[in-house]
Structure 1
Amino acid sequence: MGRNNDNELEYANVAQSFQRNCDFLQASVYTLLQTASEISSWGEGRDRDINVFVQRSLLRLSGPLESVIREKLSTKQPEAYEWFWSEQFPAVVTTYVNYFESNPRFTAATVVSGKGVSSGSGNANDISLLMLALSCIAAITKLGPTKVSCSQFFSMIPDITGRLMEMLVSFVTLRQAYHSIKDIGLRREFLVHFGPRAATSRVKTDGGMEEVVFWVSLIQRQLQRAIDRERIWSRLTTCESIEVLERDLAIFGFFIALGRSTQSYLSANGFNVVGEPIEGFVRYLIGGSVLYYPQLSSISSYQLYVEVVCEEMEWLPFYPGITSTSKRSHGHTSKQEGPPNAEAIPQVLDVCSYWIQSFIKYSKWLENPSNVKAARHNKVVECMEEIKIRKNGMTEGSGELSVERNGSGTYSLTRKETDSSFDKLVPFHFHFDLNHDIRNKLSYPE
């Protein structure tokens, strides 16, 4: 009996030593990742590509934590280090395994593989295994870098999470992947990772069309929830229902984000002042909502509205290198030295044309003009057609694009003919403008 008491006391002392010298959360997170990695190696399917991929991803992610644990204990407290591996680690792994096996979401990854039965080529096991790995990362992400102190470990999470999500999308549609990932708490990570894909996607196949429909619907719902959360509709006095107001403000809000991002992109490419008609079009994207809801012209109301919608849309990089629409302000945007980059204008026309067409074609909210005022946002619709004319005129012509500075300090896009007999600058005209009444109403705060 005395010997047993001595063993228990020694065990308690070693455990206390471990707790003093090593972060229990670090050890728990490491053990969680090791458990998921071990599950991926179960059964006859352990050598399949997906199993190997998950296992290697989780082992790579847990590497920095293992190094921290070893550094803290192996030399300073060898007894505690030995205790962790021989006593604590196996016990915690068993606890995690029991949890995963009892969770219906991971049945395909644990029960089938655990019995040593080949999972065959079915996707259920692959999807379940990926979701198990992502669920572990989601739980760790919720703890945050403050509680799990290991900067190298957290710096690796976005890349590995992105790779796992990409693999998941190879088995299910983007829409299905989004809902699954949102349910485990990685919605923002999904948006940030797939944002560039949304920005560059174009309809080339039926699958491409479904993806654009998904993005348009997702953007609308996301903005609607943000507007409802901040109760922006409460600042408007109108006969429309709250639902109609939220939908209106969501659609107008998207074009505000697009317009401000366009401003930032043009500024970054040397266009400090852009001449008409593009300047008028961008101003209309940003301030068009005020034409339909004049109460938004209040400085405080408009600033809150812009801040909310731009913050919600930060994950969508409309233009390469422009990742945030909410932090743009004069004097803070990185600007190109020298003359403006003429190729930025066709890029602006392409991006704006794509998103305007996508919303007009795929937004169910815009199908019935009586439901939302945004459906009567006619200037944007008209401008879409003019943008196409402008874009086609520039891309189909010959010669090099260049920029000519006008006397007023603005720039106009020109093309220099390659034929020496026509060595002159020919301006391209874009027949869209806003009348003075509209322009006066579009004075918006920066």
Structure 2
Amino acid sequence: MSPSPLEDTKLTNDVKFDRVNCLVWTLHVSARSFSAAVKDLALDGTRPALAMAWIGIDVHAWHKHIAYQVAVYALLMAVTEVELFLSHNRTNNPSPVLNILSPKANFLEDLIENQLSMKNPKLVEWFKTVELPRISGSFMKLFKKWTMAYAGSGVAGTVMAMTCCAGIRKLGPEKLSCCSFSDSIAEALFDLMDATNSLVTLDKLHSLAAEAGFEEDFLSYFGSRILPHKNVEDVEFWICLVHRKLCAAFRRESVASNTRILTNEVGENSLATLALFAYLGRETRLFLSRHGIRVLDKQTRDFVSYLECGVLFIYPEFSTLSEYQLLMEVILDEIGWLNFYAAYKNQLHQERRRSKHPPTQAEKEIILHAVFTVCYDVILGYAHCSNSKHQALGADLLDFLLRSQALLSTCLEDYWVAYDGTIEMLRIVEKNDPGMIPSLWMNGTKSSSAVDTRYRPAEINKIERHSQNQAISSSSSFQGENEAFLTSWQSKQKTFQRNFLKKYTRDVVAASIDVWMGTQLLFVDISYTMRLVQKRLHGHGVTQRERNKIYRTTSDMFTLIPVAILMLLPVSAVGHAAMFAAIKKYMPNLIPSPYLDERLDLVKQLKRIKKMRVRLIGIEDVKH
């Protein structure tokens, strides 16, 4: 006999078995118990299962199909019943759980009853009177225990409803065989989060979500709503949360294990802060690239590069490609849910085709204004967070923050100068345009009217003789004009061919450089994966990120085989570059990840910041 969910949670206390996982396990058990109960009914007309299996027919497929729908419906009915009991005294403040989950439960009820009535009308009554109370009872035992843990929070029923929605999402749409319902459950979860956020603080809601087991849903939803934010305390909360997560991830993933960076609190604080700004710089660079801004002025390019790779100025240990890649992978895995620019997607029309149509000057100024605003808010939020937490800042970290602020100030000065110049030019055009256009139109009207009234019928013959003389003279000069036209066309054709060869040569060189950098990344991945495999063979555990790294590198090695075969074909370097570009554009899944633009940009950014570091060191030496 299988243990009850309560017994199972007791047996798995040594393992992190949160409430969401417990609900998922109970949903599986409830679905299996419903199918077993239907089998025990031995409905009339049911043919032997073993005999039908020989011809490929499963006579139990119909109730297996709706078993998970029955379990989810019983779960929703149980949580709404608990919320009714908890909120019976809140007459002036009705519960959002009933308004949000009741339509979902009614939809499932109609769906289940229709399927049962099609099989046998008596099954509907049996389901309501026997199975639904039995399955709901297994969930009620869990809710009674969890209600005591949430006592005094004021949002016990709402938190349990969010836990149920997270469990249904984790169950997956394949089990429910209804994608529309799964999408509606995700919307219900987010609506419940909004309703709970109006009752408790973000800090309290995050702790409740982490305890229940749906922290990932919480982070993915609120992580795209951080900026712009009017409440400074909420910005401080997010920065402090990111800081704590990065510190824990660096210790867990053994980042900089061979150095003394993480031996004290100051080192952890410094590395986590630099990682936060590295992520901000990366997101800023990708945001500008997605909107078609790939060519930046020197000040803005230096500012974004310094944010992304400023860690190299303080900790040269990360200057190697392998160490820097490990650092960025840990950062992305830990805080990849953080989206600084989500609020600007609709405002800036991200879906437009920026690759062929670069933004106009006005659009570029709007995009840069969004970038500078976000960077300023993050720097200001970190300053408030460090002051409120009384965090000790090292001299190197303080220098990084001051230099970042100075670079941002320079970018803002240049931005406002360009903005003021554009506004002044528009004012001049707006001032002159109304006077210029009507005057030209009036001049054209007067000249055309003069042509109509100048000539008289007696002068028509003179005009015809004059036109004939012009025709004879033009025929004699036609040959010279034709020769001049051929000469200019040949020179233009030579110029076009020369520019085409230059462009094609530049593209081939760029593609060759990308292939070389991708090959370097691939060898770095292979060497790191071999160390992870040896670590696993020696009995040491690996983290989820390391398992994903092994899987990704193995996939890259297999996908490299067909690409290598194509590259070995006896064609020119131009042909290889063209084939590689075509595969990269039309079949990106066949390209190993080290050769994709997202990872190649990391190498390019690393080289760019090394040049910037040399330049800044030279400037400081001149000053001293």
Category of TM-score, reference length = shorter chain: 0.7 to 0.9
CA contact (8 A) 1:40 1:46 kept: no
- Offset, 1:436: 5.8
> Partners of 1:223 and 1:322 in 2: how far apart?
26
Contact 1:366/1:374 (CA < 8 Å) preserved in 2?
no
1:374 aligned to which of 374, 394, 397: 397
Identity %: 26
Q: Which residue of 1 aligns with 2:292?
A: 270
Match of 1:171 among 196, 199, 222: 199
- The correspondence for 2:210, drawn from 182, 200, 220, is 182
Whether 1:306 and 2:332 are equivalent positions in the alignment is no
Listed one character per residue, the Cα deviations across residues 284-324 of structure 1 (whole Å, up to 9, x for unaligned) are: 1111111122221221221222122134333222124788x
What SS does structure 2 have at the residue aligned with 1:50?
A: coil
Q: Which residue of 2 aligns with 1:285?
A: 307
Amino acid corresponding to residue 244 of structure 2 in structure 1: R
Q: Does 2:272 correspond to 1:250?
A: yes
Hey, what does 1:59 align to over in structure 2?
102
Structure 2 counterpart of 1:338: 358
1:252, 1:288 within 8 Å by CA — same for their partners in 2?
yes
Aligned-partner Cα distance in 2 for 1:398–1:441? 30
Among candidates 104, 112, 126, match of residue 69 of structure 1: 112
Partner of 2:67: 24
Query: 1:75-132: CA deviations, max 9, x gaps?
Result: 0243444322221101222333343234343776xxxxxxxxxxxxxxx585122112
* Post-superposition offset of 1:200: 1.2
Output the CA distance in 2 between the equivalents of 1:437 and 1:19.
66
Counterparts of 1:10 and 1:269 in 2: how far apart (Å)? 59
Measured after TM superposition, the shift of residue 69 of structure 1 is 2.6
Distance (whole Å) between structure 2 residues aligned to residue 320 and residue 11 of structure 1: 53
Counterpart among 210, 223, 229 of residue 201 in structure 1: 229
Task: Give, as a single letter, the amino acid of the residue that structure 2 aligns with 1:213.
Answer: E
Aligned-partner residue type, residue 263 of structure 1? R
CA distance in 2, matches of 1:201, 1:439: 38
Q: Larger Rg: 1 or 2?
A: 2
Question: Which of the two has greater helix per residue?
Answer: 2
1:383 to 388, 391, 407: 407
For 2:158, the equivalent position in structure 1 comes to 130
* Gap change, CA 1:421 and 1:143, over 3 Å in 2: closer
Which residue is equivalent to 1:214?
237
CA deviations over 1:312-357 (Å, ceiling 9, x no partner): 333222124788xxxxxxxxx9647234422111111111111112
Quick one: distance in 2 between partners of 1:126 and 1:239? 43
TM-score (norm 1): 0.73
Inter-CA distance 388–93: structure 2 relative to 1 (3 Å threshold): same
SS at match of 2:102: helix
SS at 1:41's partner residue?
Answer: helix
Paired letter, 2:225: R
Q: CA deviation at 1:163?
A: 1.1
Deviations 1:201-222 (A, max 9, x none): 13xxxxx232122111011112
- Give deviations 1:2-61, integer Å, cap 9, x for gaps: xxxxxx99954359969844443332121011111233334744865432x211211233
Instruction: For 1:354-365, list aligned pairs within 5 A.
Output: 354-363=377-386
Is the alpha carbon distance of 1:437 and 1:97 closer, same or farther for their aligned partners in structure 2, counting shifts above 3 Å?
closer
Aligned partner letter, 2:274: F
1:419 alignment partner, SS class: helix
C-alpha distance in 1 between matches for 2:430 and 2:128: 82
The residue that corresponds to 1:140 in the other structure is: 168
The structural deviation recorded for 1:197 is 2.7
CA 277–89 in structure 1, closer or farther in 2 if over 3 Å, else same: same
Q: 1:275 to 1:239 in 2, by over 3 A?
A: closer
1:103 to 146, 163, 177: 146
Q: Structure 2 vs 1, CA of residues 311 and 50 (structure 1 numbering), >3 Å: closer, same or farther?
A: farther
1:388-420 per-residue CA deviation (whole Å, 9 max, x = no partner) reads: 54566677x4853xxxxxxxxxxxxxx635135
1:13 aligned partner: 42
Letter in 1 for 2:393: P
Q: Could you say what the CA RMSD is over the residues aligned between the two structures, in angstroms? A: 3.6
Alpha-carbon distance in structure 1 between the residues aligned to 2:328 and 2:610 = 24
* Whole-angstrom distance in 1 between the partners of 2:381 and 2:301: 22
Q: Distance in 2 between matches of 1:337 and 1:145?
A: 39
**1:88 and 2:131 matched:** yes
Deviating more after overlay: 65-74 vs 152-161 = 65-74
Going from structure 1 to structure 2, the CA distance change for 1:48 and 1:88 (only over 3 Å counts) comes to farther
Q: 1:389 to 1:419 in 2, by over 3 A?
A: same
CA contact (8 A) 2:299 2:407 kept: no
Which position in structure 2 is the counterpart of 1:418?
427
- Asked whether the 8 Å contact 2:169–2:186 carries over to 1, the reply is no
Unaligned ranges ≥5, structure 1: 1-7, 109-123, 203-207, 324-332, 401-414, 424-433
| Number of the residue aligned with 2:317 | 295
Amino acid aligned to 2:407: C
Residue 160 of structure 1 pairs with residue 188 of structure 2: yes
CA distance in structure 1 between the partners assigned to 2:263 and 2:39 by the alignment = 70
Tell me the alpha carbon deviations over residues 157-187 of structure 1, each in whole angstroms, 9 at most, x when there is no partner: 2221111111111111111111111211111
Q: Structure 1's 125 and 349: CA in aligned 2 closer, same or farther, altered over 3 A?
A: closer
Distance 2:403 2:356 in 1: 31
Amino acid at match of 1:83: W
> Could you tell me which amino acid in structure 1 is paired with residue 119 of structure 2?
K
- The total of aligned residue pairs comes to 378
**Partner amino acid for 2:237?**
F
Distance 1:187 1:81 in 2: 38
